[in-house]
Structure 1
Amino acid sequence: MFFISRLKKFPIANHVILSILALIIILPVTILLFNSVKPKAEIGINPLGFPHEMRFQNYSDAFVKANYAKVFFNSFILVVGTLFLCIPLSGAAAFSLAVMKSGKRITPLVGLYLLVGLSIPAQLYILPLFILWKFLHLNNSFLGLIIIYTALNAPFAVFLIRSYMLQLPQELFEAARIEGASNIQLFIKIAVPLSWPVFLTSGLIVALAVWNEFLFAVTFIYDDSIKPISTILFAFSDRFKNDYALISASAVMMALPMIILFVLFQRNFIVGLTSGSMKS
């Protein structure tokens, strides 16, 4: 608190710190973009500077050699499947905890259970989960990975959506109950329409997590025809480890869809992420 109060008195220091942090993020991304359009020979001579010669064919070469059309489709299936399963279930759970308040004792216990789910590292249970999935014949399948991703991302989504729904006016739900609305109608016709910014935010966070997830994808998927983009990028980097131009172009193509989504929905994303911390 003392450090923050001191920074408020010196706005120039504030700007300097923010500028340094911004450069730490922007410079590696800029170098990655530069290297993605350089010829292979130029990267050894000029690894950090602006390209002397633009070679946009790196993108088409990486797209073809890594079979990105199929890989993008595989990741798209995982993202959409996880969103269709995770967001409705998380929204229903958040509605139950925030609006229905079925029990004063149950709600803290459920919150603690979800917090434990967020705290335990995935490496701790990946081996028993692999054995269980093998017994259930869910290894090497989209469904098995979608169930895992849903379980991994649901606790955070529940906390985020619940914090937003706590700000909703309870009078609306009470009036609807008097009119005879059921709990399902309260959720679908009142809670969901009023909470769409946080549902959008949760969807973007879950989609980003699924798109970039590597550990479970490389462990549970071993058929090249259904591998997602994160594992293919790893294999591509190992295959063309001396061609940094192709690797850079491949990395840019991997990040580009999520960047576009964030740019398109950044205003709603920020509203949904911060609204739960503000009182109505």
Structure 2
Amino acid sequence: MSHALLRADPVAEPSASDRLTDKDFARIAALVSGEAGIKLPPAKKLMVEGRLRKRVRHLGLPNLTRYCEHLFDEDGLVREFVHLVDAVTTNKTDFFREPEHFVSLERSLLPELLSLRRRGAKPMLKLWSAASSNGAEAYTIAMVMADLAAKGDFQFAVLGTDISTKVLLVAERAVYPVEMIAPVPPEKQQRYLMRGCSPHRHKEARIVPELRSRVGFQRLNLIDSSYPIDRDVDVIFLRNVLIYFDKPTQEAVVRQLVGHLRPGGFLILGHSESMIGTNLRLPQRSPGVFQNT
């Protein structure tokens, strides 16, 4: 018996009405830049189209042309803006990403912060993951702090904020695929993660309740003129986010974040963003780590 070669059916090209015109893409890019500070250069057009088609289907609209009419000509933007931002933002994060920062937190930053507090008191340390995405960074911070708190006499609380409501829901649920938790050291996996037992949950893990109770999440747009956040935060993490902003926005966001640090507190940027911090003339303690003096 002979075997015929099977050819895959060609993938249908989107129709012209299901593509963003240059005008509509420019309007979306200007809106996202103006309201969220996120740059969408022309090279991102295909990515944006692909992500927005999911919203088009969800809304029951026939194509992207009709979606843009809904946004800009029919006042649909009032309800749709949050979903638009959710669709176009990139939320890349991992547990223990850039692990040197967590080693620094444990070995030098935390001891120094505790030395600045009044003796005899049991201080509350506040840590903020300012672009927390799905919560991996916030829970990583909490794991490190919980280990240290078990040996020291202090309390801690972690706040995670993000502009995307979609990823904040994931963070609050605190359930992750097992392959995502691979970077978590085995001893921390044992202490802070629960594995699913049922057949449809065995490939998932959830942060234990004791750790979840130390971490809160809320929506925040980093380019807002003010933040509803305490001004005595000990450590702020803002890593691998500023690269999506233009230079004036980068500097404005960093300046505002520093205003929420207590004297002696630390701002931690991504390794690729260290030069942004130097523009504020903050003392740099190590790659990406700056101190508010």
For normalisation by structure 1, the TM-score amounts to 0.26
If asked which structure has higher relative contact order (CA below 8 Å, sep 6+), I would say 1
Q: Which has the higher helix share?
A: 1
For normalisation by structure 2, the TM-score amounts to 0.25
Q: Which has the higher strand share?
A: 2
